[in-house]
Each structure stands twice: as structure tokens, then as C-alpha cells.
């Protein structure tokens, strides 16, 4: 087969390649649209989700940790103390009981350390991974994340196979001093197109839900300095839906924002890989033994 590929004249190959690239791209786009049935379901009311689940939808693992740290600080469980050297130290309040939510509990056990070191602790990211996976599973249950469609996985291989054939032909052309400029351009454009067409974790319903969050939670930014006016809504929803920047200028939480933002900005990747196809029992809020991973991090908990 390789010899047959090499034997195709360059001009003919470009035509075949462009046709194959176009058809495979259209196939991928069509299957993605057909396989995403999320719009057949009604989006949940935002506060029905746990703030950590909402944070994962908006900003991934980084947003989950920001929301959890704010929640623990706001409830008086976690303190941020800046030392003389300017490094912020995380300290737990021994007078407050052990938090119930598994993510809170893991942070509680790992917290007595400098904030920058906390985000780079590989043991912490390891125990947090099951928690993130369960949040992913909850988002799948609400149809905000795509549920893996195993019977459509082969469709994604078609454009990559076409791309690989183009790379082989490119290598042959370069090794034999053939003109390859047009093929290089075609490969670059095709690669970008594939990356665009390969679906993200967000479903169509999830994208619409996410786009509406700033509007639906705009009111909460004006109530942060008066928590009694939140009418039973957890203040952590402000961070979950709008990010840490919503705290800037707050009379109560501005100091927290100034301490947390520089650290999280410099540690945007915590090494947590959340795979959307978890086979665990998501959506529950079980209590796990601390330090040993999450026993359920769904929509319940404190």
C-alpha cells in the first residue's frame, strides 16, 4: 500500500487529499451533531448543582480548587495567613469540625502548608482525582457534559487517518526533493479543522448553560458584602459561576482575592486529569475517610 501511495503523482494526490479531508470533516461534524442529544433535555437550575460541580463546568479543576478554598475560608474552616516573607500559609481552624464534603476534607488534611506548595503537592492531586471524576459523572447525568459515545469513536479516526496519509506523502516528497508547499498548507489547515471539529466535553446544552451563567449570577456579585441578603444561596456560587475576580473590591473578601489570585494564576495546571467516562457512582455525597481519596463528590455535601 505504501508503494501505491508513493506512486500517486503529487498533483493528483493533492486533489484526492482535499476531497478526503473535506468528506471526513463533514462526516465528523455531522456525527457530532447527531450524537449530541442533550438539547432534548431540560437544563438544571444552576443552584441545583453543587458549587464545585458548577465550577468544574466553568473553569475545570482550577476553578474547583478556587471555589473550595473560598468556601472553606468563608465558613471559617481555613485561614490564609501571610508571613513576613510574603508567602501565604494555609492553616485550619481546630475549633471548627471536620468538613463533610470529600473535596473539603482532602483540602483540610493537606492544608497546613504554604499555599504555593499546596498546589504543587502530587499526593494532593492524586487523592483529588477521584473527586473530579465524580463531578464529571454528575455533569454527564445532567447532560451538560457529553457522555462517551463508544459506537461513534471510529468516526474520529477517519480524519486522523487521512491526516496521517498526508504526513507520509509529505515525508516522501521532502526526501525526494519534491515540491510540498501546497501539501504543507493543506495539512496545517486540515489539522486545525480537526481540532475544531473534535467535540469538547461540553455538550450543546452545556454550552448554552455555561453561556447563561454570567447573566444568571450577576446579582450575587452585589450581595457578597451582605451575605444575609443571599437568601440561603451559598456564597461559593459566586466563585463557581463567575471566578475569583468577582471578589475584587469586596470589603469582606478582597484580601482573600489578592492572596489567592497570584498563586492560582501561576499554577493553572494542577496535574489532575478528569476522564469523562467514569464508571463510578456519581452524583452522591458520601462521606469518605480523609486522606484516602473521595468516596463521593456529587451534588450534596456542605
- What is residue 81's three-state secondary structure? strand
Co-location of 112 and 238 in the same domain:
yes
103 neighbors 74 (Cβ within 8 angstroms): no
Look at residue 281 and tell me whether its pLDDT is greater than 60: no
Q: Which residue has the higher pLDDT, 266 or 286?
A: 266
Residue with C-alpha cell 447527531? 34
Co-location of 135 and 61 in the same domain:
yes
61 neighbors 132 (Cβ within 8 angstroms): yes
Co-location of 244 and 163 in the same domain:
no
Neighbours of 200 (CB within 10 A): 9
Residues 20-62 pLDDT 10s: 999 999 988 888 777 778 888 889 998 899 999 999 999 888 8
Co-location of 180 and 47 in the same domain:
no
Co-location of 193 and 111 in the same domain:
no
Residue with C-alpha cell 503523482? 9
Closest CA to 107 of 121, 124, 88, 132: 124
Terminal-to-terminal C-alpha distance of the chain = 61
Q: What pLDDT is attached to residue 152?
A: 65
Q: Which residue has the higher pLDDT, 135 or 218?
A: 135
183 neighbors 17 (Cβ within 8 angstroms): yes
Whether 286 is in a domain gets the answer no
* 186-198 mean pLDDT: 90
293 neighbors 127 (Cβ within 8 angstroms): yes
Q: What pLDDT is attached to residue 283?
A: 36
Residue 299: pLDDT band (50, 70, 90) is very low
Co-location of 136 and 257 in the same domain:
yes
Range of the structural domain that residue 177 is part of? 2-35+148-197
Percent of the chain with pLDDT over 70: 76
Co-location of 59 and 29 in the same domain:
no
Whether 288 is in a domain gets the answer no
Q: What pLDDT is attached to residue 266?
A: 54
Look at residue 84 and tell me whether its pLDDT is greater than 80: no
Co-location of 45 and 191 in the same domain:
no
Co-location of 128 and 229 in the same domain:
yes
* 187-210 mean pLDDT: 88
Q: Which residue has the higher pLDDT, 249 or 26?
A: 26
Whether 98 is in a domain gets the answer yes
Measured in residues, the chain has a length of 302
Residue 15: pLDDT band (50, 70, 90) is very high
Look at residue 193 and tell me whether its pLDDT is greater than 70: yes
Co-location of 156 and 30 in the same domain:
yes
Whether 127 is in a domain gets the answer yes
Whether 289 is in a domain gets the answer no
Co-location of 29 and 174 in the same domain:
yes
Residues 203-216 pLDDT 10s: 889 999 999 999 98
Whether 102 is in a domain gets the answer yes
Q: Which residues of 266-295 are buried (b: 16+ CB within 10 A; e: fewer)?
A: ebeebebebeeebeeebbbbeebebeeebb
Whether 302 is in a domain gets the answer no
- What is residue 170's three-state secondary structure? helix
* 123-143 mean pLDDT: 90
Q: What pLDDT is attached to residue 113?
A: 76
Whether 293 is in a domain gets the answer no
| Number of alpha helices (DSSP H) and beta strands (DSSP E) in the chain | 11, 3
Residue 257: pLDDT band (50, 70, 90) is low
Q: How many domains does the chain have?
A: 2
Co-location of 154 and 92 in the same domain:
no
Amino acid at each position: 500500500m505504501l508503494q501505491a501511495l508513493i506512486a500517486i503523482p503529487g498533483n493528483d494526490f493533492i486533489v484526492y487529499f482535499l476531497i478526503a479531508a473535506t468528506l471526513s470533516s463533514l462526516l465528523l461534524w455531522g456525527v457530532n451533531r447527531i450524537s449530541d442529544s442533550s438539547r432534548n433535555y431540560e437544563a438544571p437550575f444552576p443552584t441545583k448543582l453543587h458549587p464545585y460541580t458548577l465550577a468544574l463546568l466553568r473553569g475545570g479543576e482550577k476553578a474547583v480548587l478556587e471555589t473550595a478554598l473560598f468556601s472553606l475560608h468563608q465558613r471559617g474552616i481555613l485561614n490564609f495567613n501571610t508571613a513576613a516573607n510574603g508567602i501565604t500559609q494555609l492553616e485550619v481552624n481546630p475549633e471548627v469540625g471536620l468538613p463533610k464534603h470529600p473535596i473539603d476534607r482532602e483540602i483540610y488534611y493537606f492544608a497546613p502548608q504554604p499555599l504555593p506548595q499546596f498546589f504543587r503537592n502530587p499526593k494532593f492531586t492524586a487523592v483529588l482525582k477521584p473527586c473530579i471524576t465524580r463531578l464529571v459523572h454528575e455533569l454527564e447525568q445532567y447532560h451538560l457534559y457529553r457522555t462517551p459515545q463508544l459506537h461513534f469513536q471510529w468516526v474520529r479516526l477517519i480524519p486522523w487517518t487521512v491526516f496521517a496519509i498526508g504526513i507520509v506523502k509529505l515525508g516522501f516528497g521532502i526526501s525526494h526533493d519534491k515540491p510540498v508547499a501546497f501539501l504543507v498548507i493543506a495539512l496545517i489547515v486540515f489539522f486545525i479543522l480537526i481540532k475544531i471539529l473534535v467535540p469538547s466535553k461540553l455538550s450543546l446544552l452545556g454550552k448554552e448553560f455555561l453561556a447563561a451563567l454570567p447573566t444568571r449570577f450577576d446579582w450575587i456579585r452585589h450581595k457578597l458584602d451582605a451575605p444575609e441578603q443571599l437568601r440561603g444561596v451559598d456564597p461559593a456560587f459566586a466563585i463557581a459561576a463567575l471566578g475569583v475576580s468577582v471578589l475584587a473590591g469586596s470589603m469582606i473578601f478582597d484580601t482573600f482575592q489578592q492572596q489567592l489570585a497570584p498563586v492560582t494564576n501561576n499554577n493553572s495546571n494542577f496535574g489532575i486529569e478528569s476522564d469523562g467516562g467514569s464508571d463510578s457512582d456519581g452524583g452522591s455525597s458520601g462521606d469518605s475517610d480523609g486522606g484516602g481519596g473521595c468516596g463521593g463528590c456529587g451534588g450534596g455535601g456542605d
